[in-house]
Amino acid sequence: MRALTLKILAFAAAAVMTSSCLHAAPVDNEKMLGLAVALTKVTPPVSTSVRYKNPPADLQDGELLAFAMAHNPSLLTPFDGYVLKARQSGRNSSVLVCDRKGQIALIEDTACTEEPDLKIWQTNPNQPCDYALDLAKACAVP
């Protein structure tokens, strides 16, 4: 009898912990798809800036975004409340959208492809806010 009670309590505890994790930070798929589309408007100016405006090689994240978006900072408006990062590697670049706390990666994109490259919120929902794209492969010229 005691063993059965312990098993029931263990099962109940596991069920509560699992369900609380599943509902802890739900991601609105429609909102993320909207951000993915908005991101495809941000990555081309970043790419153009990296390829043709010769920013300092150590310019990254907010500074690189400010440099690239100087002509149209309103493109960043959809990302208010999110952490937005940009990087450059040679003549390639990518932009990463992370959650509001800057802990979880959501989307990463580079302008050398037509659609958002990594919809991280779908494929790896707990990935840390770090770049995942291999720019040399993603932007390789066939």
Q: Which H or E run contains 83?
A: strand 83-89
pLDDT digits (tens, 9 = 90+) for 38-54: 999 999 999 999 999 98
Mean pLDDT score across all residues of the chain: 83
Cα-based angle 10, 12, 18 (whole degrees, multiple of 5): 100
* 16 pLDDT tier (thresholds 50, 70, 90): very low
- Which has the closest alpha carbon to 104: 87, 117, 85? 85
Residue type present at position 29 = N
Residue 131 clears pLDDT 90, i.e. is over it: yes
For tokens 């908005």, name the residue: 38
pLDDT digits (tens, 9 = 90+) for 77-128: 999 999 999 999 999 999 999 999 999 999 999 988 776 678 899 898 899 9
Residue 128, pLDDT score = 96
Residue type present at position 124 = N
Q: What spatial distance separates the first Cα and last Cα of the chain, rounded to whole Å?
A: 68
Residue 112, pLDDT score = 86
